[in-house]
Amino acid sequence: MKATLTVLGSGTSMGVPTIGCDCAVCHSSDPHDRRTRPSILLEYGGKTVLIDTTPDFREQAIREHVRKIDAVLYTHSHADHILGLDDLRPLSFRHKPNKLPLYARPQAADFIRSTFRYIFDADYKFGGLAQVELKPFQGPFELFGASFEPITVIHGESEIDGFRFGGAAYLTDHSDVPEASLKKLENLDILFLDALRHTPHPTHSTVEKSLRIVERLKPKRAFFTHICHDLPHEATNASLPPNVRLSYDGMKLEFEI
Ligand SMILES: [Zn+2]
Ligand SMILES: [Zn+2]
Ligand SMILES: [Zn+2]
């Protein structure tokens, strides 16, 4: 089935420009250097699946004219990936009397449930709460005729999820990708990887480290995300192999799901 992937945000947890920063990238006039928090949208067979709800979700959804969301997948429960959950409200109301399903591994689902207690333990009579329900996953699951395989990655000291869906995979926060997970990422058309910057970081990958993953897995096309203000878009792209590019907010890709 044909699918479209839209990059809603390609930036690291603080976004680019970063508040109060006077560096060249934060002051760049290139729109590609403006990076909201990391998230993607998948559209296939008339359905729309969102991965992560960042603090920038409202702006991203308005920018991309999002009209509906049929499911949300969470990679993990860090603030930059979940704090836009409340802005699902207008899209969740369309699901009444049902609820918009939110998929996350059990630990992440528990964390989201406690962070958003006012939604999940609601005793509020006046309406207006997001109509959402958590669906913990363990292993691969199917959504609207496409199969989603959680891919375990190491993010500092935690295990979190990336996802493979058909010919594409999205890995957003990883300091390491275990061997067993690499084996699930063969024969890809599109591979998204974390590439925060050049300097090593305890919980994130670097351009150099992610290039080694690309060399090993040989996807047709690779895109880097979760990018900080150390990487100017144009100059960094010029230094990358032709099949590897920095992703950018608003980028759209076609693939088979
Ligand atoms: Zn993150
Ligand atoms: Zn900066
Ligand atoms: Zn994280």
Q: For residue 122, what pLDDT is reported?
A: 84
Is the pLDDT reported for residue 127 higher than 90?
no
Find the range with the poorest average confidence among 74-83, 114-123, 192-201. 114-123
Identify residues whose C-beta is under 5 A from ligand 2, the ion.
18, 21, 23, 26, 229
Q: How far is the CA of 15 from the centre of ligand 1 (A)?
A: 10
Instruction: Give the number of whichever ligand sits closest to the CA of residue 159.
Output: 3
Q: For residue 219, what pLDDT is reported?
A: 98
pTM of the full predicted structure?
0.98
Q: For residue 123, what pLDDT is reported?
A: 84
Q: How far is the CA of 198 from the centre of ligand 1 (A)?
A: 17
Q: Which long-range contacts (CB under 8 A, 24 or more apart) does 62-70 make?
A: 63/249, 63/250, 64/6, 64/8, 64/250, 66/41, 66/91, 68/94, 69/100, 70/100, 70/143, 70/144
Instruction: Write the CB contacts of 42 (distance below 8 Å, at least 6 apart in sequence).
Output: 3, 4, 5, 6, 48, 49, 50, 51, 165, 257
Tokens representing 84 are 């836009």
Mean pLDDT of 52-73: 98
Mean pLDDT of 201-217: 98
Q: Where are the alpha helices (DSSP H) in the chain?
A: 57-63, 79-82, 89-92, 106-115, 117-120, 179-182, 207-217, 233-238
Q: For residue 167, what pLDDT is reported?
A: 98
Which residues on neighbouring strands pair with residue 173, listed in sequence order? none
Q: Rounded to an integer, what distance in angstroms lies between the CA atom of residue 41 and that of residue 91? A: 14
Instruction: Give the number of whichever ligand sits closest to the CA of residue 39.
Output: 1
Per-residue pLDDT tens over the stretch 213-241: 999 999 999 999 999 999 999 999 999 99
Q: For residue 58, what pLDDT is reported?
A: 98
Residue 97, Cα to own-chain centre: how many angstroms? 28
Q: How crowded is residue 200: how many other Cβ atoms within 10 Å of its Cβ?
A: 12
Residue 190: band (very low, low, confident or very high) from pLDDT cuts 50, 70, 90? very high
Residue 124: band (very low, low, confident or very high) from pLDDT cuts 50, 70, 90? confident
Which residue from 182, 174, 180, 178 is spatially nearest to 218, judged by alpha carbons? 182
Per-residue pLDDT tens over the stretch 17-30: 999 999 999 999 99
What is the percent of the chain with per-residue pLDDT over 70, rounded to a whole number?
100
Per-residue pLDDT tens over the stretch 79-123: 999 999 999 999 999 999 999 999 999 999 999 999 999 999 988
What is the percent of the chain with per-residue pLDDT over 90, rounded to a whole number?
98
Q: For residue 26, what pLDDT is reported?
A: 98
Residue 125: band (very low, low, confident or very high) from pLDDT cuts 50, 70, 90? confident
Q: How far is the CA of 31 from the centre of ligand 2 (A)?
A: 14
Q: How far is the CA of 80 from the centre of ligand 1 (A)?
A: 5
Instruction: Write the CB contacts of 46 (distance below 8 Å, at least 6 apart in sequence).
Output: none
Q: Rounded to an integer, what distance in angstroms lies between the CA atom of residue 246 and that of residue 244? A: 7
Which residue from 33, 84, 24 is spatially nearest to 227, judged by alpha carbons? 33
Using CA atoms, how far residue 25 sits from 21, 74, 118, 120, in Å, is 9, 29, 38, 40
Instruction: Give the number of whichever ligand sits closest to the CA of residue 230.
Output: 2
Q: How far is the CA of 12 from the centre of ligand 3 (A)?
A: 9
Percent of residues in the chain assigned helix, strand, coil, to nearest 5: 25, 30, 45
